[in-house]
Amino acid sequence: MNVALAATPPTGLARVRGLYQGLVDDRAAVIAAGAADAALSTSAATFLAAECRWLDGRSFDRWLSAWTDDGLYWVPLAHGHPAEDQALFLDDRRRLGERVWRMSDASAWALTPGADTVRLLGTVEAWPDGDDVLTSSALHITYCRGRRVLALAARQIHRLTRDEPGALRIRRKILLIPELTAGLPQLGWLL
Amino acid sequence: MNTEDALRPDAIAARGPDLSEELAHLVRPDLVHRRLYTDPSLFDIEMDRIFGGTWAYLGHESEIEKPGSFVRKRLGRRQVLLVRTEAGEVRGLLNRCTHRGTMLMAEDRGCQKRFTCPYHGWSFDLDGRIRNLPVADSYDRLFERPFDLGQLRVESFRGFVFATMAAEPLPLLAWLGPARRWLDEHIDRHPGGRLRVLPTAVIQEYRANWKMSWDNAADGIHATFAHRSYNLLGKEAETETVLARNPATTPMISMTLGHGHCVVDQRPGIPAGPWSTMRPLPTRADLEDALAARGEATAVNLDLATGNMVNLSLFPNLLFVGNQLMVVEPLGVDHTRVSMFLVVADGAPEEINLLRLRVDEDFVSFGTPDDLEMFERVQEGLKVVEEEWVDISRGDHAGDVVGEDGLVTGGISSEAPIRAYLEEWKRLMSKPIPTTVRRSRIEAAKFAGARPARAAGGVA
């Protein structure tokens, strides 16, 4: 696979267009890809399982530290394009930090008291893409807050990269949630 | 024509009981009864008299630009296809086949030459006329009922399409009344008056009565408390988040506009303009730099990237919040859907519209969830049968200014907008409202007189 993020221009409108196109390209590449790389899939699965564990365990700071500084997290509403359609959110690292901050803010009424979640990770497929790793996996989230339970299913696409010591980090994440177009309770808790 | 004959396809019927006495008890100048939010039988009547008996927002013309394009909407419990006909007209067709009532279109939007029922193959032109009825000979008295699709009365104000089932609705401009000026202002801030509504809405549901959205719309004081978390984010980023004001001293105002409409004008509280209230956002730095490089990072342009800080609310279902159109859809007495459609300005620089995409998801992420939480907590509290009354007197004789036209201007803690929409609610709900289904043709029916020859009427 060769989607290559490196071509993104450094500044301005072209950079924004490039970032957005990169997300769309990742989504398209993963959906069209052939059989995954077995060894890479195993190591990526270990990392994605840890991501689920950090989020379910409310170790949000640990989760945030697994992102690269240029990270982007996109939750499209349907089959949209980030330059043309609303998203549930499209966050850079800074706004992800705000999302994490709200998780423990006592005046974030929709998140207080906090929810318990369990993320059930399906088969993880991974492909090399230059120095990065692209992955696809199905995800089932059960969310329980107070006496309310919500179940969500999603396909998640990760672009992972290796930092200096060789550990995997999240560079891009796309969460495709069909139920978004059907109407759901507030998702201010979703990471 | 005797349209009181209930069997006629163009019958005018006024359904349900006279509630005048009961509602005079439940809605008072300073109190409202909990049953307005909890009683399923009142909800059923709302679905006829509020959502159908008066004008309501249906959609925007930019959603159906080409002939044949349609979007699927709801008015109360009715599914409606908002359609652009071959002739360029806008129609609101009931999304049900006139044969058995089958829902015609399951897609949310699309472009069609005609609408064909999947059940028995009946098809209809874009203006609702029946086009083809397979095995028409199987009807002995085919033309005794006109099979053209049912329609709503629709009317457009500068691209905003409103619809009603009322047999004799107010003229649309009379219904808008003083709200028209604010709607004009909202449209005119877009270069060339050109708005485009993006097709895919953020849809969120809450487990509470739809009127919570209305109680909240012009309630300027909740923003200080319910949105404390959002305000803290603004403080952290050292921006003047518009909601973090002192509700006792802010010069922001609310105004009632008749027919339940209202507006909150927050601009007096933000002299530095809307853009001054925005925190850093994804892509903001790059897009502002791009504008600056062309000398276009002006206050006028940047203010366009966010809402105009004027929250106009058109009763019963359209709220202007930021650059989103928030459409309130009641699903049950304690279940409501809000669809948030983003508006872009095609006459503005590309960067402005790219910014708009990121600006409004900010409040949807960090503000709206706390609103919906409040609505659900209120609904929970209203379950207590013994606590019958909710006080709505705030501002009355305590800051509100009543104009000669009876419209009220108050501070942002005034509950005059709540009292005003409930007054309109009571007016509409008290007596049965004559409603009717429109159709393209009634003439080829027994109801028009003589039975026509079988070959007439254009049915294949």
**What would the 3-class secondary structure string for B359-407 be?**
HHHHHHHHCHHHHHHHHHHHHHHCCCCCCCEEECCCCCCCCCEECCCCC
Which residues make beta-bridge pairs with B438? B151
pLDDT category of residue A6 using cuts at 50, 70 and 90 = low
> ∠ CA B363-B364-B367 to the nearest 5 degrees?
55
Is residue A163 in a domain? yes
The DSSP result for B169-219, as a single string, is: PPPHHHHHTTHHHHHHHHHHTSGGG--EE-SPPEEEEESS-THHHHHHHT-
Is residue A138 in a domain? yes
Q: Which of A15, A109, A143 to mutate to test the interface with B (most CBs of B within 10 A)?
A: A109
The shortest CB-CB distance from B198 to any of A19, A86, A101 is to A86
Is residue B417 in a domain? yes
| Environment class of B438 (CB within 10 Å of its CB; exposed 0-12, middle 13-18, buried 19+) | buried
Which residues make beta-bridge pairs with B319? B313, B326
B286 and A183: CB-CB below 8 Å? no
- Cβ contacts below 8 Å, chain A against chain B, sum to 124
B372 and A186: CB-CB below 8 Å? yes
Quickly tell me which residue has 């705030």 as its tokens: B394
Residue ranges, chain B, pLDDT below 50:
1, 444, 447-460
Residues B379, B251: one domain?
A: yes
pLDDT score at A177: 97
Residues B350, B212: one domain?
A: yes
| Environment class of B217 (CB within 10 Å of its CB; exposed 0-12, middle 13-18, buried 19+) | buried
The shortest CB-CB distance from B205 to any of A88, A110, A185 is to A185
Non-local CB neighbours of B270 within 8 Å, separated by 6+ positions: B240, B242, B276, B277, B309
State pLDDT tens for residues A63-108.
999 999 999 999 999 888 999 999 999 999 999 999 999 999 999 9
Determine the structural domain holding residue B437 and report its residue range.
Answer: 1-16+53-177+433-460
Q: Looking at residue B141, which CATH number applies to its domain?
A: 2.102.10.10
Q: Contact at 8 Å (CB) between A177 and B360? A: no
3-state helix, strand, coil in chain A (%, to 5): 35, 35, 30
pLDDT score at B451: 40
B339, closest residue in chain A (CA to CA):
A183
Residues B383, B268: one domain?
A: yes
pLDDT score at B5: 77
Q: For helices B368-381 and B350-366, give the axis angle rounded to 10 degrees.
A: 30
Q: Looking at residue B210, which CATH number applies to its domain?
A: 3.90.380.10
What is the pLDDT averaged over residues A7-35? 91
Residues B165, B265: one domain?
A: no
pLDDT score at B301: 93
DSSP character at residue B96 = B
Residues B407, B261: one domain?
A: yes
Q: Looking at residue A118, which CATH number applies to its domain?
A: 3.10.450.50
Cα→Cα distances B205→A178, A185, B375, Å = 15, 5, 11
What is the pLDDT averaged over residues A134-162? 96
Residues B127, B245: one domain?
A: no
Three-state secondary structure call for residue A46: helix
Residues B224, B321: one domain?
A: yes
Residues B120, B211: one domain?
A: no
Is residue B268 in a domain? yes
Q: Is B228 on the interface with A (CB under 8 A)?
A: yes
Split into its structural domains, chain A has a count of 1
Is residue B32 in a domain? no
Is residue B229 in a domain? yes
Is residue A174 in a domain? yes
Quickly tell me which residue has 């008072």 as its tokens: B28
pLDDT score at B1: 47
The B residues from 67 to 126 touching A (CB cutoff 8 Å) are 108
At residue B294, φ and ψ (nearest 5 deg) are: -100, 10
CA gyration radius, chain A: 16
- Identity of residue A141: I
Determine the structural domain holding residue A39 and report its residue range.
Answer: 12-182
- Identity of residue B418: I
The token pair at B95 is: 């999304």
CA distance B344 to B181: 21
Chain A residues within an 8 Å CB radius of B301: none
Residues B311, B165: one domain?
A: no
Which residues make beta-bridge pairs with B334? none
Q: Is B20 on the interface with A (CB under 8 A)?
A: no
The DSSP result for B36-69, as a single string, is: HHH-HHHHHHHHHHTBTTB-EEEEEGGGS-STTE
Is residue B43 in a domain? no
Residues B232, B147: one domain?
A: no
Residues B268, B411: one domain?
A: yes
Residues B1, B116: one domain?
A: yes
CA gyration radius, chain B: 24
Is residue A1 in a domain? no
CA B451 vs. chain centroid, Å, equals: 42
Cα→Cα distances A137→A73, A142, A155, B79, Å = 16, 16, 6, 36
DSSP character at residue B296 = -
Is residue A189 in a domain? no
| Environment class of B247 (CB within 10 Å of its CB; exposed 0-12, middle 13-18, buried 19+) | middle
The shortest CB-CB distance from B369 to any of A11, A183, A188 is to A188
Is residue B286 in a domain? yes
Is residue B438 in a domain? yes
The B residues from 273 to 332 touching A (CB cutoff 8 Å) are 280-283, 286-287, 289-290, 293
The interface predicted TM-score (ipTM) is 0.94
Is residue B136 in a domain? yes
DSSP character at residue A116 = E
Q: Contact at 8 Å (CB) between A140 and A122? A: yes
Split into its structural domains, chain B has a count of 2
The shortest CB-CB distance from A110 to any of B200, B203, B370 is to B370
Is residue A190 in a domain? no
